[in-house]
Amino acid sequence: MTFADLVQYVATGLLVGGVYALMSIGLALIFGVMRVVNFAQGDFMMLGMYLTYFFAIGYQVDPLLGALITIPPFFALGLLVHRVLLVRVTGGGDPQREMDAQLILTLGLSLIITNATTMILSPMPRGIRTAYATQAFAAGPILVNQARAYAFLMALLLAAAVYVFLTRTDLGKALRAAADDPEAAGYQGINVRAMHGIAFGVGIGLVAAAGGLLATYHPIEPTVAVNFIVLMFVAVVLGGLGSIPGAFVGGLLIGLVQSLTLLVLPFQLQNVGVFIAFLLVLYLRPQGLFGQRMRSV
Amino acid sequence: MLKVSALSVTYGGLHALDAVSLDVQEGEFITILGPNGAGKTTLLKAISGALPMVAGQIEYRGRDIGRLPSHARAGLGIAHVPEGRRVFPTLTVLENLVMGSYRAAARARRAETLETVFALFPILRERQRQVAGSLSGGEQQMLALGRGLMAQPDLLLLDEPSQGLGPRIVETIFEVIAEIRRSRRITILLVEQRVVEALELCDRGYVLETGQVVLHGDREALLRDERVQHAYLGA
Amino acid sequence: MPTTLSRRASALLPFALLALAGLVLTFAIQERYHHRILTLTLVWATMGLSWNIISGYAGQISFGHQAFFGIGAYVTILLIVHLGLTPWIGMLVGAAAAVLAAVLIGFPTFRLAGIYFALATLAYPLILRIFMDFLGYQEVAIPMIRERAWVYMQFLDPRAYNLLVLAAFLAVFWLSHAIERSRLGYWLRALKENEPAAEAMGVDTFRCKMAAYMLSAAPPAIIGAIYAHAVLFVVTPDAVFGLLVIVQTLVVCLVGGAGSKWGPLLGAAIMVPLSETLDMTLGDRFPGIQGIVYGAALVLVMLFAPEGLYWRFRGLLVGRRSAPAAALQPIASPQPDAAAPRAVATDGTPILEAHGVSKAFLGLRAVEDVSFVVRQGEILGIIGPNGAGKTTLFNVLNGFLLPESGEVRHRGQPITGLRPNRICRRGIGRTFQVVRAFPHLTVLENVMVGAFVRDAAEPDARARASAALARIGLETRADLLPTGLTTLDLRLMELARCMATAPELVLLDEPLAGLGRDGIEVMMALIRRLRAEGVTVAIIEHTMHALVRLADRLVVLDHGRLIAEGPPAQVTRDPAVIEAYLGKRWLRHAEGLRA
């Protein structure tokens, strides 16, 4: 194996990792502000893929643009889901019990979404055909699939937008304040429950957009959720539960791990590398890279 | 301005406050004294809405605020500077201050208020881009105070601003509080352990013990009353 | 109290009823697919019961139990295929493999806090699933045996499988019952409710969790093997390691009620026939209907009845024997504990010594160079303004924290760094300010958790607990549930629980906080009486008024340092103490007043 091969693996890993990073930011935001581990995150991503697909098929909207268009409706959906479901199991007394309860509730939600989609839309996988999905950029000996490259760039763009939102706007800062210390946030006049809803909405919107980007090169089917939810968990834990820059880096790293695992293990075992990395992080450094000390539970 | 009637609060299954009543006029400086566990922090939290009442009434400017959540009470002009400072550790000093002026009435005058706060606490201007979690205890206290002031409050609740700080910083903090009082005539409710400093600043005081008011009176009367020491030391 | 004989009978009765019901159903049902539903119901009920051992009783929510299910299925099948070994033995090998897996997984994973544990358990079945796929076992068919098929667990008559699964279910039901009545069961429920408090009561929490995990791993392996033969016929990684396995386990347990042996059966009896019937009738037109039913069940249960239907019904029907709001009449004449072993020696021997103990957190020195002695037979009060380091000190004495320097000695023996449960066994008890009672156990059973440190058998522990309650004066509350008890009653129960561990020294953490004037008097009288019976007492308190009357000696901490020590009258006049509480200026001010 040559150096060029290695660079190829790294490049592919990073490109894929960019989209993972975007998915994971959504999960991290939700956890950071609400302390909810949203098992259904992968399912919302899957729904985002489908919506993007329908825009592509029905209105000839390029999926890269379609991904952006999914954000507002999914933001609204997130607000709704929070208001109807999650509000009842957050903000109570016992944080530990609550986290278990939320994990189970969102697991249930995930099952409903996956199976309802299978029922309504059929389990047959679909794909979006774009001109660039089958073409590649050549950078010397390295080949970079165009769809992945564009998806990567869009993911970076969106992540940057999130960064600007969180650091430059009052609302974004209020979200971070609510994540840091909900009681003190209340004293400043911040409606923490509304912040929860907004965090959830943004988190869902981001993961739906990530789904749209993923749809440029990944088949669309209801079972996609299950494959990615664990990757997202790993990325978020690796970066440090609740840390958004951590989730971004975690996503990139997971893409790399996945890609580089192919150097040593056969294709079917690709995700084993990711799962083992997961266990290692949990055992050796559970607070992750950007170790944000968990609000004591 | 603030009228608390027969307030009872349970906290963690314990009776933290038992039929406490107090009265604060507009512009007054009231201090709340008492040993630990007496319920002083609970009282402030009940007023600002962080803890629910079991019984009693809280009236603010004639309006019953007992049912309002804490962010709504903050919106009405009640600023609570909590015990232990509670600055937002991952936000910068500037972002913390900006959050202080989150409520609509304060947001409009944010730039102006910021200048005032920086004038009071020059160290904050120096460190404005620094992440609040990396500040020293005294600096965090100043930040917490500044954040409270950013809300342009009508009622300021201060919970043990001197806790855990060295003597020189404590002096500075009390000087600033006195300065705020002088220049602004905000109504202030101060909870403190340092009895003399607190009494010197205030107009009137209440002494709590085991969740009840055991003493109250104006400043001079309390300063002369040996029962204050009795409340702390039981002898 | 019921006699042992009638208690034995009442334990066998539900068992017999279940067996009877199972047999009746097996032989009454005609349709083949009804037999299938019965088999599936019992399979998932058994899985639920097993999961309940680690996640219901011990409260460690596992999302990876399907690993054991799959290990059982695959080990059994592969032993048939490669070695021709009968599954009757093969499933025992599978069970052993599952228990081994539980040890390997449990060891590193139980160290993880809360949510991390759940996430870690998620990873293992995923890894196993990928490996099975990779090793070429995507589809392993059970070889059909023609002659003496029963040797290979192959029956034409579906009733045979019904009976087999019924037997497995009854075995695990009995196991759950045995656990509930045993010391392990009480300890598991204690550590679920409040792990630090359990440690302080003598529970070796790590060992208990491992024991529960191992016990919970064997039945799934066995039931997995049976499931493969009765339902699957062809084993695929997804069918035994997949998400649906853990989902069905979770659903039956959560809908029915975790933490009880009846819950999983209740949940399975409702959910399995429902979802199977829906699947059979509507499954063609609506693929995935099962998943929706299960998902909806999880969501609805978490929203409206998170404790599960069993506990909900029990709460309503039995109208719950909660304490009436009547006033407490206990301290009239509680009995001195006849089994109190220690002589009342007031010779001043040091029981506990701290030498130069220092503990810092993130650069903040919480306790700095603190040395003092607790003497036999005294009541020592530890006081100081907020943040003085009192609770940190207790945590060091008690084994929850390791000091940076200094040592703690018990009767001359160093105990620094011993686990809290070991320190409890040595005779040093501790209470906590916030009482976490075990909500589904009666007051007596709550106290038994402490008694089990000294007695391994349930009847002995029960007797010891009764004696402890009588000693505290709480015996009238023995059969009530903790909900609805007053703060005072709860504190008394906590004290009884501590006394049941037969301590010679008790560390009381703010026992008077939140009590009214009357409650404080009751507590104080009780503490004095305990001392008269030979127990040495060290108390942290804020409530000065009470403590100056109660304590023989006071030790004062401020900013982590010991600033005064001596009788209350002396200490409360000590200038250093006055300064610590009211500030330096008050001292001068008060002197000025007196001048």
The yes-or-no verdict on residue C335 having pLDDT over 90 is no
Say if residues C359 and C403 touch (Cβ distance below 8 Å).
yes
- The answer to whether the Cβ–Cβ distance between C289 and A108 falls below 8 Å is no
**Residue in the block written with tokens 């009434």:** B57
Ramachandran assignment for A243, one of left (phi > 0), alpha (psi -120 to 50 degrees), beta (any other): beta
C155 domain residue, yes or no: yes
Are C280 and C177 in a shared domain?
yes
A192 touches chain B (CB under 8 A): yes
**Residue in the block written with tokens 């656990």:** C179
Which letter, b or e, does each residue of C131-159 get, where b requires 16 or more Cβ atoms within 10 Å of its Cβ? Answer: ebbbeebeebebeeeeeeeeebbbbeebb
What value does the mean pLDDT take over residues C97-113? 91
C335 domain residue, yes or no: no
DSSP classification of residue B92: B
Instruction: Check residues C437 and C352 and name the one with the higher pLDDT.
Output: C352
In angstroms, the separation between the Cα of residue C585 and the nearest Cα of chain B is 6
Query: What is the predicted pLDDT for the residue at B183?
Result: 83
User: Shortest CA distance to B102 belongs to which of A177, A175, A194, A170?
Assistant: A170
Contacts with C238 (C-beta within 8 Å, 6 or more apart), sequence order? C129
Backbone angles phi, psi at C556, to 5 degrees: -110, 125
Of C61, C291, C306, the CB nearest to A111: C291
Average pLDDT, chain C: 87
The yes-or-no verdict on residue C106 having pLDDT over 70 is yes
Confidence label for C340 from pLDDT (cuts 50, 70 and 90): very low
The yes-or-no verdict on residue C594 having pLDDT over 80 is no
Confidence label for B226 from pLDDT (cuts 50, 70 and 90): confident
Query: What is the predicted pLDDT for the residue at C345?
Result: 46
Say if residues A21 and A258 touch (Cβ distance below 8 Å).
no
Interface test with C, best of B33, B36, B190, B209 (most C CBs within 10 A): B36
Of A119, A271, A279, the CB nearest to C286: A119
How far is the C-alpha of B1 from the C-alpha of B155, rounded, in Å? 9
The yes-or-no verdict on residue C3 having pLDDT over 70 is no
CATH classification of the domain holding C513: 3.40.50.300
The yes-or-no verdict on residue A293 having pLDDT over 60 is no
Which letter, b or e, does each residue of C196-207 get, where b requires 16 or more Cβ atoms within 10 Å of its Cβ? Answer: bbbbbbbbbbbe
pTM: 0.88
Pair of tokens at residue C47: 């899985």
C306 domain residue, yes or no: yes
Q: With contacts defined as CB-CB under 8 Å, which chain A residues touch C287?
A: 118-119, 123
Boundary of a domain, candidates C502, C527, C548: C502
Tell me which residues of chain C, numbers 181 to 220, contact chain A at a CB-CB cutoff of 8 Å.
none
Interface test with B, best of A188, A195, A292, A293 (most B CBs within 10 A): A188
- Please report, for chain C, how many H helices and E strands are present, in that order: 24, 12
Say if residues B113 and B149 touch (Cβ distance below 8 Å).
yes
- The answer to whether the Cβ–Cβ distance between C127 and A275 falls below 8 Å is yes
- The answer to whether the Cβ–Cβ distance between A100 and C291 falls below 8 Å is no
**DSSP reduced 3-state for B102:** coil
What value does the mean pLDDT take over residues C369-377? 92
C330 domain residue, yes or no: no
Label the pairing between strands B204-209 and B212-218. Answer: antiparallel
Pair of tokens at residue A260: 């580089």
What value does the mean pLDDT take over residues C248-267? 93
Chains with 3 or more CB pairs under 8 A to chain B: A, C
C14 domain residue, yes or no: no
The yes-or-no verdict on residue B180 having pLDDT over 50 is yes
Q: With contacts defined as CB-CB under 8 Å, which chain C residues touch A295?
A: none
CATH classification of the domain holding C127: 1.10.3470
Q: With contacts defined as CB-CB under 8 Å, which chain A residues touch C113?
A: 286, 297
Ramachandran assignment for B59, one of left (phi > 0), alpha (psi -120 to 50 degrees), beta (any other): beta
Say if residues C554 and C533 touch (Cβ distance below 8 Å).
no
Boundary of a domain, candidates C451, C472, C502: C502
Interface test with A, best of B41, B45, B88, B107 (most A CBs within 10 A): B88
- The answer to whether the Cβ–Cβ distance between B71 and A192 falls below 8 Å is yes
Backbone angles phi, psi at A296, to 5 degrees: -60, 130
Task: Report how far Cα B67 is from the mean position of its chain's Cα atoms.
Answer: 20
The yes-or-no verdict on residue B194 having pLDDT over 70 is yes
Q: With contacts defined as CB-CB under 8 Å, which chain C residues touch B226?
A: 590, 593
Query: What is the predicted pLDDT for the residue at C573?
Result: 87
Tell me which residues of chain B, numbers 171 to 190, contact chain C at a CB-CB cutoff of 8 Å.
none
B168 touches chain C (CB under 8 A): no
Pair of tokens at residue C250: 């979770």
Query: What is the predicted pLDDT for the residue at B171?
Result: 87
Query: What is the predicted pLDDT for the residue at A212?
Result: 93
User: Shortest CA distance to A128 belongs to which of A41, A67, A208?
Assistant: A67
C276 touches chain B (CB under 8 A): no
Q: With contacts defined as CB-CB under 8 Å, which chain B residues touch A180?
A: 88-91
**Residue in the block written with tokens 């690796």:** A238
Cβ count within 10 A of residue C563: 17
Cβ count within 10 A of residue B27: 14
C116 domain residue, yes or no: yes
Q: With contacts defined as CB-CB under 8 Å, which chain A residues touch C290?
A: 115
In angstroms, the separation between the Cα of residue A37 and the nearest Cα of chain C is 9
A98-136 per-position pLDDT tens digit = 778 888 999 999 999 999 998 888 788 888 888 787 888
The yes-or-no verdict on residue C133 having pLDDT over 50 is yes
Are C405 and C385 in a shared domain?
yes
> Across-strand partners of B2?
B24, B60
Confidence label for A292 from pLDDT (cuts 50, 70 and 90): low
Query: What is the predicted pLDDT for the residue at C331?
Result: 43
The yes-or-no verdict on residue A297 having pLDDT over 60 is no
B91-to-A293, B148, C256 alpha-carbon distances in Å: 15, 16, 45
Q: Mean pLDDT lowest for which of A210-214, C383-387, C466-470?
A: C383-387
How far is the C-alpha of A288 from the C-alpha of A220, rounded, in Å? 31
Q: With contacts defined as CB-CB under 8 Å, which chain B residues touch C542?
A: 35-37
The DSSP annotation for A218-280 comes to: S-B-TTHHHHHHHHHHHHHHHH-TT-HHHHHHHHHHHHHHHHHHHHHS-GGGHHHHHHHHHHH
C192-242 per-position pLDDT tens digit = 888 888 888 899 999 999 999 999 999 999 999 999 999 998 999 999 998
Label the pairing between strands C536-540 and C379-383. Answer: parallel
Q: With contacts defined as CB-CB under 8 Å, which chain A residues touch B153?
A: none
Of B18, B195, B209, the CB nearest to C583: B195
Q: What is the ipTM of this complex?
A: 0.92
Boundary of a domain, candidates C288, C313, C338: C313
Say if residues B91 and B84 touch (Cβ distance below 8 Å).
no
Say if residues C253 and C62 touch (Cβ distance below 8 Å).
no
B105-126 per-position pLDDT tens digit = 889 999 999 999 999 899 999 9
Hey, where are the domains in chain A? Answer: 18-132+142-220
Instruction: Check residues A225 and B234 and name the one with the higher pLDDT.
Output: A225
**DSSP reduced 3-state for C342:** coil
End-to-end CA distance of chain C: 68
A176 touches chain B (CB under 8 A): yes
How far is the C-alpha of C209 from the C-alpha of C216, rounded, in Å? 10
Query: What is the predicted pLDDT for the residue at A41?
Result: 95
Say if residues B56 and B6 touch (Cβ distance below 8 Å).
yes
Q: With contacts defined as CB-CB under 8 Å, which chain B residues touch A177?
A: 88, 91, 99
- The answer to whether the Cβ–Cβ distance between B103 and A174 falls below 8 Å is no
What value does the mean pLDDT take over residues C28-41? 91
Average pLDDT, chain B: 89
How far is the C-alpha of A215 from the C-alpha of C427, rounded, in Å? 65
In angstroms, the separation between the Cα of residue B196 and the nearest Cα of chain C is 6
- The answer to whether the Cβ–Cβ distance between B82 and A189 falls below 8 Å is no
Least CA distance to C110: which residue of chain A?
Answer: A283
Say if residues B105 and B74 touch (Cβ distance below 8 Å).
no
Are C487 and C520 in a shared domain?
no
How far is the C-alpha of B94 from the C-alpha of A214, rounded, in Å? 38
Helical H runs in C385-516? Answer: 390-398, 420-425, 443-451, 458-472, 487-499
User: Shortest CA distance to B47 belongs to which of B84, B16, B78, B71?
Assistant: B78
In angstroms, the separation between the Cα of residue A185 and the nearest Cα of chain B is 8
Cβ count within 10 A of residue C303: 16
Query: What is the predicted pLDDT for the residue at C319?
Result: 54
Query: What is the predicted pLDDT for the residue at C323?
Result: 47
In angstroms, the separation between the Cα of residue C128 and the nearest Cα of chain A is 9
The yes-or-no verdict on residue C327 having pLDDT over 70 is no
Backbone angles phi, psi at B30, to 5 degrees: -110, 135
Are C518 and C472 in a shared domain?
no
C384 touches chain B (CB under 8 A): no
The yes-or-no verdict on residue C330 having pLDDT over 50 is no
How far is the C-alpha of C412 from the C-alpha of C408, rounded, in Å? 9
Say if residues C556 and C381 touch (Cβ distance below 8 Å).
no
Are C163 and C292 in a shared domain?
yes
In chain C, the percentage of residues whose pLDDT exceeds 70 is: 93
C128 domain residue, yes or no: yes
C404 domain residue, yes or no: yes
Q: Which residue range(s) make up the domain with C550? A: 350-427+504-594
Query: What is the predicted pLDDT for the residue at A114?
Result: 92
Chains with 3 or more CB pairs under 8 A to chain C: A, B
B70 touches chain C (CB under 8 A): no
**Residue in the block written with tokens 């209740």:** C266
A179-196 per-position pLDDT tens digit = 999 999 999 999 999 999
A126 touches chain B (CB under 8 A): no
Most confident stretch, A240-244, A263-267, C201-205:
C201-205
Interface test with C, best of A82, A85, A97, A115 (most C CBs within 10 A): A115
How far is the C-alpha of A45 from the C-alpha of C120, rounded, in Å? 23
C20 by Cβ neighbours in 10 Å (0-12 / 13-18 / 19+) ranks as exposed
B208-219 per-position pLDDT tens digit = 888 889 889 998
Domain count, chain C: 3
Length of chain B: 235
Helical H runs in C114-204? Answer: 114-134, 158-181, 183-193, 195-200
Instruction: Check residues A269 and A24 and name the one with the higher pLDDT.
Output: A24
